[in-house]
Amino acid sequence: MSKQAPARKSLKELMKSGEGLSGFPWPDRYVDFDIAIRRDGTWTYRGDPIRRQKLCQLFATVLQRDEEGAFWLVTPAEKGRIDVEDAPFVAVEMVEETDDAGRPVLNFRTNLDYWVAAGADHPIRVSVDAETGEPSPYIEIRDGLEALIARPVFYDLVERAESVDDGQATELVVSSAGARFSLGRIPL
C-alpha cells in the first residue's frame, strides 16, 4: 500500500485563501523588488500604489518572515526583501458567529479579502507604544504574518470585551473559538 502525498493547492486557491507558498529551501539568488507595504495595507512598487488587488494577493502567497523579523518575497527561484511599515495585512472587518458548541467565533477579513477566525491558531495581541500609550492590535494570519486591526474594528472588539477585575486593574478580555485574548489592562 503506497502513501499518497497531500494534494498541493493551486496558486489560484492560495491567492483566494490567503495561504502561503512555502516549505521549500530559500534560493540564493537575491533580487531588489522595491516593494513596500504601508501601515494602511497599501502595497507599493517604487513608491506608487499597486492598484490591482489580484497582484497583491499573488505577492502575498510568497510573503514570508525570517527569524529576525524581516519580510521577504520568496519563490523557488529568487528572493527579495521588502519593507513593511507595520504589518503586511490590515483587518478591515469583523463578524461574530457561534460555533457548534455555542461559543463565539470572531472572524476577521483582511484588506486582501482573506478571512481568519481568531483562536489558538490565529491569536489576537495588543502592543502599546511606550511613548504615546497608543494601542496597536494585531491578529496572526499565518506563519508569523499579522494583520493590524483597523481602528473601527478594534473599537467594535473593545465593545464586545468583558471586564475582569483582579483588585489592581481591570483587564478587557475577548473570547473566540474557545481562546481568550487580553486587549489591555486599566489600573484601578
Q: What is the CATH number of the domain that holds 132?
A: 2.30.270.10
| pLDDT number for residue 1 | 47
**What gap in Å lies between CA 182 and CA 180, rounded to an integer?**
7
**What gap in Å lies between CA 135 and CA 82, rounded to an integer?**
25
Residues 6+ apart with CB under 8 A from 160: 96, 106, 174
Strands ordered across the beta sheet of 169-176: 162-165, 169-176, 179-187
Contact indicator for 138, 89 with CB cutoff of 8 Å? no
Q: Judge if 116 and 180 occupy the same domain.
A: yes
pLDDT digits (tens, 9 = 90+) for 26-82: 888 888 899 999 999 999 999 999 999 999 999 999 999 999 999 999 988 899 999
Q: Judge if 60 and 18 occupy the same domain.
A: yes
The mean pLDDT value for 3-29 works out to 70
Q: In DSSP terms, which residues pair with 48 in a beta bridge?
A: 45
Contact indicator for 109, 122 with CB cutoff of 8 Å? no
| pLDDT number for residue 3 | 54
Q: Judge if 100 and 53 occupy the same domain.
A: no
